[in-house]
Homo-oligomer: A and B are copies of this chain.
Amino acid sequence: MNVMELDLMERPGSETVARREPPPFPLTSRRARATDTIVAVGDTWIGGGSLALMAGPCAVEDRAQMRTVAEALCQAGVKILRGGAFKPRTSPYSFQGLGRGGLEILAEVGAEFGLAVVTEVVRPEDVSLVAGYADILQIGSRNMQNFSLLDAVGSSTRPVLLKRGMMSTIEEMLQAAEYILYRGNRQVMLCERGIRTFETYTRNTFDINAVPALKSLTHLPVIADPSHGTGKRDLVDAVAKAAAVAGADGLIVEVHPHPEDALSDGAQSLTLEAFARLVAELRLLGQALGRPLS
């Protein structure tokens, strides 16, 4: 546990004599590339100075829901639609997603509205199936150290959005990314989505420190998920803007036409109206920071 990239860090109060060693994630490390990795998706890109937005419901529920969300994204100028078809759920009795049917809805709605789509893949053998529908393959928090799944997406040509394990260290996340790069897929984005702590007021504790830390440790784009990072709709706005200012290359936000009826994660989903306001504020903030929305 807690092996460290010794040559990049200093531990306050530590008596440790740091050896100058290569970091345990050579391909992922900043030292592997002089410039930031930029991931091209549809007609947009992630990384390199702009602020990319991805939004949509936790789960694909039906076509009408997805079309309503997609239309709102287009009006807001957002270019990437999210939605889960395979849902890893704590209980076997919870809604597990629509599966292949959900993928079809997602892809068709994306095509209709000219949006790229991102969705989660949970089994190695589903990678080629999901890659047939999605522009970005998402690895969920519970699977960050599912190494056979990492190997499988590492052999795909689709970009990967790797979510941080809820109790994984920053370095473990970089080593998980290394599995994917090591297999040949260099189009990886790292997603901070909150960690598990003693605090129970929020669902997770969004680790804002991880945003600048990752930006200094790796050349890969960093995405922030303020929805899972807080678990509470009323905190999403502030944390989204904070993550952008701290250097995140993009945000992924849960929105739902009717959060109170959502089949999962309703408490942390923004309404379409609230999301439109957030995008407007992010646009203004981006102008002040010299970072256009992409």
Contact = CB atoms under 8 A, between A and B. Distances in A.
Interface of A: 1-4, 6, 9-17, 19, 21, 24-25, 88-93, 122-125, 142-143, 145-148, 165-172, 175-176, 178-179, 182, 195-213, 215-216, 229-232, 234-235, 237-239, 241-247, 265, 267-268, 284-285, 287-289
Given A196-B1, A234-B216, A201 B171 contact: yes
Nearest to A17: B17
Contacts of A204: 1
Contact of A213 (B21, B235, B243): B235
A88 B147 contact: yes
B21 A19 contact: no
Contacts of A15: 3-4, 6, 19, 21
A78 to B, nearest CB: 20
Contact of A288 (B10, B146, B231, B288): B288
A284 B15 CA distance: 39
A148 B123 contact: yes
A25 to B, nearest CB: 8
A170 to B, nearest CB: 5
Contacts of A124: 123, 125
Given A175-B92, A212-B235, A200 B200 contact: yes
A215 to B, nearest CB: 8
A279 to B, nearest CB: 15
Contacts of A196: 1, 167, 198
B200 A195 contact: no
A15 B16 CA distance: 10
Contacts of A209: 199, 201-202, 205-206, 229-230, 235, 239
B147 A122 contact: yes
A242 B123 CA distance: 36
Contact of A267 (B10, B88, B125): B10
Given A167-B168, A287-B288, 16 more contacts: A2-B14, A12-B265, A17-B17, A24-B93, A25-B91, A92-B182, A124-B125, A142-B145, A167-B167, A195-B205, A201-B213, A202-B213, A215-B238, A238-B246, A238-B247, A285-B289
Contact of A175 (B91, B123, B171, B244): B91
A199 to B, nearest CB: 6
Contacts of A213: 201-202, 232, 235
A8 to B, nearest CB: 9
Given A88-B147, A213-B235, A17 B19 contact: yes
A169 B200 contact: yes
Contacts of A145: 88, 90, 142
